[in-house]
Structure 1
Amino acid sequence: MDARATAVPADQNLTRSEERQVVLASTLGTVFEWYDFFIYGSLAVFMSSVLFPPDNPTAAVLASLGALAAGFVIRPIGAVVFGRIGDLVGRKYTFLITIVMMGGGTALIGFLPTYASVGHAAWISLVMLRLIQGLAVGGEYGGAVIYVAEHSRPDRRGLLTGWIQITSSVGLALSIAVIIGTQSVMSEADFKAWGWRAPFIISIAMLAFSIYVRAKLHESPVFTRLKAERRLSRSPVRDTFARWSSLRLVLIGLFGVTAGMGSTYFTGQFYVMIFMQQIARIDLQTSYTLMAIGLVRVRRLSFSSVGCPIGSDANG
């Protein structure tokens, strides 16, 4: 895509109401995708005893976490694949594809047969669904930022895209809230046996709402203008990775910024949860409640110490 066309022209500036609609639709969809992605990490311990060989519980837990890691490993590939699709056919349709892949994969996890009934096919199916989810979230997050940015004026771009940055924590908080709600209506034994499936199946309603919201979006004005002017790149992947000036920025962003930050964030969230449940033997309701409190507390401290990214009109 031509770098000179990255801003919304003056005659296409959105009103504040239209800005809110764009940000709300993009943010809600991304929150639900992160919910889908995080619900697995929050329930990995329970799936390890149902979908993996039961003869070695420790190995089953590690294998379950390995499936979680698979979704993270494949995310950069999803960014490349759906980045190309977005540059070729448009942002709106790419949004719809990723939301269906993510939501469909999450719902199917809730219906997976147990290891006792189908053997190794249970965990193999789980890994395949996690890979599909990783591809989807890899394309979703970057696509949402681009979509909002292409609707924004330069002096509003940092403010509006800042909303997308908080969606991962909101998605995690939502997943924990749904788990706590599910646990409150059944015994701990029932939750371990089959109740863990409910948060996955509940996501079907979120998927339907997300599709409805995404279907109402318009294509970004930047993409529409470039397409009309026949200025879309024919090989966006090659243009990005075959040019050192572009590749250098990708490598700096991946290894210099996001790799360490992502590893610290996700390890802190999920390892602490698993430690409380497996090692400290804290009951499930208490462990999830503590995680929810800690998540809210950390987010408040980060906002107060560095300033909320959506709290000013800075370009960012």
Structure 2
Amino acid sequence: MPEDAAPQTQGATYEPDPKDVRKAVAGSAMGNCIEWYDFGVFGFMPAILGQVFFNAGSTSEGALATFAVLAVTFVIRPFGSFVLGPLGDKLGRQRVLALTVILMSGSTFAIGLLPSWEQIGPAAAVLVILLRALQGFSAGGEYGGAATFIAEYAPNKRRGFLGSWLEFGTLVGFFLGAGVVTLSTVLLGEETMQQWGWRIPFLIAGPLGLVGLYLRNKLEDTPVFREIENQKKVSKSPLKELLTQHWKSILHLIGLVILLNVGDWIMLAYVETYLKDVLGMKGDAPLLIVMGVILAMLVVIVPIGSLSDRIGRKPILIACCAGFLLLPIPAFTLMENSVGENGSVNAAMLVGGLAMIGACLVLFLAVVASTLPAMFPTQVRYGAFSIGYNVSTALFAGTAPYVVGSLVDATGNTLWPAFYLMGAAAIATVPVLLLPETNGVSMRGIVSSRQCESTTTTPSAPATG
């Protein structure tokens, strides 16, 4: 339906069993966990993988080669979203999500079986790039579908609480990937990791994927999608419909997600490099610090999601934007001043700086999965969400650590991460202010990212928390 059209009258509605709601949340979060587990594995042993697959002559060359391969995922993701997203609107969410979890976990698992450069030469590099491309393609249909799946299953008054578990899965996956790499390195040593130990983190993705597939196959499609399917209202050409009638809402989402992408990748990917290369911290301390920040975010993310069911999503998003406009300079100044000339670290200053950035980021993470699906009507929700989200991710997520690091190196100004976060917040503030408040509004009543029909809410299912 066009963005300026009134929503059609809905027929009978399905109300899911609370047990099915919990299964939907678990299956969705598990897929997101696997996606970010893969990023954690790649992100925390780049030098080893560069030497194994690209015959890099030094650790720095190996890291650069691995980060280049990691970038392939971001380049391919929009292509996956253009294919898998509209399929989810035409064939159903559950079928496509089962496919994405197979492709993501299978490609990660297969990397653990690949021969090295030493065994087959340049073909090793070609194979790992192809598998990373497949992983990126499948990731293009994962997050949008998983968030849509939870949002369409969740009772209206519990959508913030239940949606926050999706990003809980994100943080768990990243923490798990980094943790497995760290533990394997400690137990096996650098030499053994170089020889064969690097395979272990990748092979673990196989069992994780089977669990995710089992959880997703145990469910019917979402009640909201089954309604439009039974009413013969499934779009015959969802890609054409979303590009011609909902492109304004897609642009709205892209502008909003810029802050999430920049914040995510500066906090989870760049901060470790910042602590090592800019502040001169040694050993495993930077990695352990980042993992500590993730643990702290895990503790508060679900309570914040639950809070959004009481006060709304917009106040939390506005607080996030305000925080990222005001706090990055004090935060990075504190971190920079926390390390003395003799290498000593003032823990209170370092934790204070990291806490400012982490607190702002977790506000967005806690409500993103309940906010973004409510920007599109059911007929195009999966595809429009996936395309907007992955285009923004390709442009601003993986590039953030590289751009910020390059600016710091070129200018010598260590506050560039702060400036970059503030710029992203300034951009995102406008689309946040334009959002309607959708807390408690039925997913059946969404017209566009600027309009929803709040009078069409349906009774909420029993609480599942």
TM-score under structure 1 normalisation? 0.85
Partner of 1:18: 20
Q: Distance in 2 between matches of 1:135 and 1:156?
A: 31
Partner of 2:65: 63
Partner of 1:250: 250
Deviations 1:35-76 (A, max 9, x none): 134322222221011111334654432221011112122222
Deviation of 1:6 after TM superposition, in Å, equals 11
User: Map of 1:75-154 to 2, 5 A cutoff?
Assistant: 75-154=77-156
Q: Distance in 2 between matches of 1:6 and 1:86?
A: 23
Local SS of the residue matching 2:154: coil
Deviations 1:147-201 (A, max 9, x none): 1111233333333223223322121111122223323431222123321211001
Q: Does the CA-based 8 Å contact 1:29-1:213 persist in structure 2?
A: no
Deviation of 1:291 after TM superposition, in Å, equals 2.8
Which one has more relative contact order, counting CA pairs under 8 Å at least 6 apart? 1
Q: Distance in 2 between matches of 1:110 and 1:135?
A: 19
Q: Distance in 1 between matches of 2:287 and 2:240?
A: 45
Deviation of 1:251 after TM superposition, in Å, equals 1.7
CA shift in 2, pair 1:56/1:184, >3 Å:
closer
Q: Distance in 2 between matches of 1:184 and 1:63?
A: 24
Deviation of 1:129 after TM superposition, in Å, equals 1.2
Partner of 1:223: 225
Partner of 2:37: 35
Q: Distance in 1 between matches of 2:133 and 2:121?
A: 20
Q: Distance in 2 between matches of 1:174 and 1:33?
A: 11
Local SS of the residue matching 1:21: helix
Q: Does the CA-based 8 Å contact 2:157-2:309 persist in structure 1?
A: yes
| One-letter amino acid of the counterpart of residue 251, structure 2 | L
CA shift in 2, pair 1:126/1:86, >3 Å:
same
Q: Find 1:45's aligned residue among 37, 44, 47.
A: 47
CA shift in 2, pair 1:303/1:88, >3 Å:
closer
Local SS of the residue matching 1:111: coil
Local SS of the residue matching 2:157: coil
Q: Does the CA-based 8 Å contact 1:37-1:133 persist in structure 2?
A: no
CA shift in 2, pair 1:204/1:84, >3 Å:
same
Q: Percent identity?
A: 29
Partner of 2:309: 313
Local SS of the residue matching 1:113: coil
Q: Distance in 2 between matches of 1:154 and 1:36?
A: 32
Partner of 1:262: 261
Q: Distance in 1 between matches of 2:272 and 2:134?
A: 24
Q: Does the CA-based 8 Å contact 1:6-1:222 persist in structure 2?
A: no
Partner of 1:169: 171
| One-letter amino acid of the counterpart of residue 104, structure 1 | G
Q: Distance in 1 between matches of 2:37 and 2:9?
A: 30
Deviation of 1:290 after TM superposition, in Å, equals 3.1
| One-letter amino acid of the counterpart of residue 181, structure 1 | L
Unaligned runs of 5+ residues in structure 1 are: none
Local SS of the residue matching 1:35: helix
Q: Does the CA-based 8 Å contact 1:79-1:139 persist in structure 2?
A: yes
Range 162-171 or range 234-243, more displaced: 162-171
| One-letter amino acid of the counterpart of residue 308, structure 1 | I
| One-letter amino acid of the counterpart of residue 193, structure 2 | F
| One-letter amino acid of the counterpart of residue 295, structure 2 | V
Q: Distance in 2 between matches of 1:270 and 1:165?
A: 16
Equivalent pairs, count: 308
Partner of 2:331: none
Unaligned runs of 5+ residues in structure 2 are: 314-465
CA shift in 2, pair 1:147/1:5, >3 Å:
farther
Q: Distance in 2 between matches of 1:282 and 1:49?
A: 22
Q: Does the CA-based 8 Å contact 1:6-1:150 persist in structure 2?
A: no
Larger Rg: 2
Q: Does the CA-based 8 Å contact 1:70-1:130 persist in structure 2?
A: yes
TM-score under structure 2 normalisation? 0.60
Q: Does the CA-based 8 Å contact 1:23-1:148 persist in structure 2?
A: yes
